[in-house]
Structure 1
Amino acid sequence: MRCLYSYAVADGLISEAENPAARVPKPRRLPSTRRALSDIQLALINEAASGSGNDPELDTLLLRLHEETACRRGGALALRRIDLDAEQCLVQLREKGETVRWQPISPTLAVALAQHNDDRAVGEHDGRLFRYRNGAPITRRRYDYLWSRLGKRLPWVATQQVSMHWLRHTTLTWVERNFGYGIARAYAGHDGRSAAGTTTTYVKADIYEVARALSALSGETHPLVAHLADEAVRRGVTLGANMLPAMPPSSVG
């Protein structure tokens, strides 16, 4: 109703003083019930997606992209073939607030995404990356179908209304616990403007630190930090634990 009346004011149908919504206090926004998933829950979701549905290859690729990049749904839907740098293992994400960033992905996912598009895009090199078997680009309805199906196989998914955004919480929580707030903030693609205080200006992380976190997350050495991994091996330093399950064979192409 606030939106409706604001349009009425903007269109000159009523004056600002005649806007009844302006006099009604906004209710307090309740904290989100989303949270990070456990390792077991994450594994069950991937297993259910890879073993059911009319296109498990597509669904497992979508899940893996969100698990590795912590991207939003809009970022995945906007992803184009030209946004994939398979050699450097990067994807260019365009998300809300007109933000654009290059996000590291594992070599396995980079190969799988390129193969997926090559098989389904029918010679179209600048269109959407994720496609159905008939070549048509996917829409938000694919996400609705996926989580509806997962909710039927895993009742707790439907009860708690788990969605792709829960995977964003899961990945960013893991990165923050293992690599700190600054790297988790860069991993999420958040800008420098924050109510958290001036300190966030000084704890910015670069793409190499994000790639290092991704390497630990996926268990695969990323090209951007290969030299750091080699140095860690020589020094006997452990970069981190592998949280994500192995990609199903059907997703690798």
Structure 2
Amino acid sequence: MSQAPPDRAELQAARLLLQRMGITAEDLLRTPAARPAAPTFAQYVPVVAAAVSAGTRRAYGSYWNKVLAVWGDRHIDEPVPSEIERLCRQVQADVVPRRNARGGRSAAEHLVAALRCLYKRAVADGFVEQAANPAAKVAKPRRVPSTRRAIADTRLAEINAVAARSGDDPQLDTLLIRLHTETACRRGGALNLRPRDLDPDQCLIFLREKAGTTRWQPVSPTLMRHLQQHHTERGDGDREKLLLRYRDGHPLTYRRYDHLWVRIGLELPWVRAQQISTHWLRHTTLTWVERRFGQAIARAYAGHTDERGGSSSSTAGYVRATVPEVAMALAALTGEPHPAAGEG
């Protein structure tokens, strides 16, 4: 039985609905462009890896390799959310147990983040519809509170003493500990330093850290003097190359930090037992700054720029601390006057 043609009222209602939706008759007649065929994970992961920053590649690379091992021959538009969740459980189960393990939560979280990064680019490249992004439909495991905390002054003195009297390069190790204690910078920020990032007149260093964040961070005149001396003794005069170097002139890597804390842990059992690392120095300094100078200066000292939802983060946008205020906190921490501290 043929359907009766729509009457005037139905046509008028349809026109009104299309008008409110912003759709024209031409839109209905236009043929949608053909979506390119989705590549396999083996084909697309190298494309994404080449497009992201070195830090992102380092953070997600091992997880993309896990995806390749399981889904390498599959097309990226094939997996569904339940398959990603199943892969997360598998990755959690395969985590090597360590003293500070959290049941594989971090591994599962990083896997989801790595897949979200991959699918975000797949959507931008036109291989997957945003509504069909499977990684966006999988929740990250809830983070449990960190066990890191501020190190007591007496304990911090023990760490410095061991670093200064042991190892094959105490001069380098004590410089690293001083740098991280004063600036609360991350390891990546220290390793990315270049001689051109030193401003000796104002005692500032330019830090490049994760997610592309940058900032000028005050340092004490003593630390600035030692950073310059380090470049004079170990650099080749090129201000564009990496600053921190071994005695043979090769640039530092993350392995130096690993060896440093293993060595300190051999002499200080509590360091080994609690898995103390460079990031504990960041906790120590920022806790000290927050207790004495407040949340706004502590956030600036840490280089925190993310403003997540909530009234507190909204307020933080209005009360950002300045470099002179951070320098004032540093001067109190080190006991040395800072040239920028008097500008606030």
Name the TM-score, length of structure 2 as normaliser: 0.62
Distance (whole Å) between structure 1 residues aligned to residue 248 and residue 181 of structure 2 = 26
Equivalences for residues 224-243 of structure 1 within 5 A: 224-226=340-342
Q: Which consecutive residues of structure 1, in runs of 5 or more, have no partner in the other structure?
A: 229-253
Q: Give the distance between the partners of 2:227 and 2:74, measured in 1 at CA.
A: 46
User: Which position in structure 1 is the counterpart of 2:80?
Assistant: 17
Contact 1:5 1:21 in 2 (8 A): no
Structure (1 or 2) with the larger CA radius of gyration: 2
Q: Choose which of 170, 193, 196 in structure 2 pairs with 1:82.
A: 196
Q: Of the candidates 180, 198, 202, which is equivalent to residue 318 of structure 2?
A: 202
Residue 64 of structure 1 and its aligned partner are, at CA, apart by 0.4
How much has 1:123 moved relative to structure 2? Answer: 2.6
CA-based RMSD of the aligned residues comes to 2.4
Provide the C-alpha distance between the structure 1 equivalents of 2:239 and 2:160, rounded to a whole number of angstroms: 29
SS in 2 for 1:167: helix
Whole-Å Cα distance in 2 between the matches of residues 200 and 212 of structure 1? 19
Query: Are 1:36 and 2:144 an aligned pair?
Result: no
- 8 Å Cα contact 2:148-2:280 kept in structure 1: yes
CA contact (8 A) 2:324 2:342 kept: no
8 Å Cα contact 2:148-2:283 kept in structure 1:
yes
Please tell me whether residue 214 in structure 1 is matched to residue 330 in structure 2.
yes
The separation in 2 between residues aligned to 1:108 and 1:183, in whole angstroms, is: 22
Aligned residue for 1:127? Answer: 241
1:187 corresponds to which residue? Answer: 301
Gaps of 5+ in 2: 1-61, 90-138
Q: Which runs of 4+ in 1 moved over 6 A?
A: none
| Count of residue pairs the alignment pairs up | 228
**Residue number in structure 2 paired with 1:97:** 211
List per-residue Cα deviations over 1:62-88 (Å, max 9, x = no partner).
000000000000000001111111121
Superposed displacement of residue 202, structure 1: 2.0
Name which structure has the greater RCO, CA cutoff 8 Å, separation 6+: 1
CA, structure 1 residues 179+10, in 2 after alignment: closer, same or farther (shift >3 Å)?
Answer: farther
Of 241, 245, 250, 1:136 maps to: 250
Q: Is the 8 A contact 1:9 1:15 kept in 2?
A: no
Work out whether residues 204 and 217 of structure 2, in 8 Å CA contact, stay in contact via their aligned partners in 1.
yes
C-alpha deviation, 1:122, in angstroms = 2.7
Bigger CA drift: 61-70 or 10-19? 10-19
* Equivalent residue letter for 1:21: I
Does the 8 Å contact 1:194/1:200 carry over to 2? no
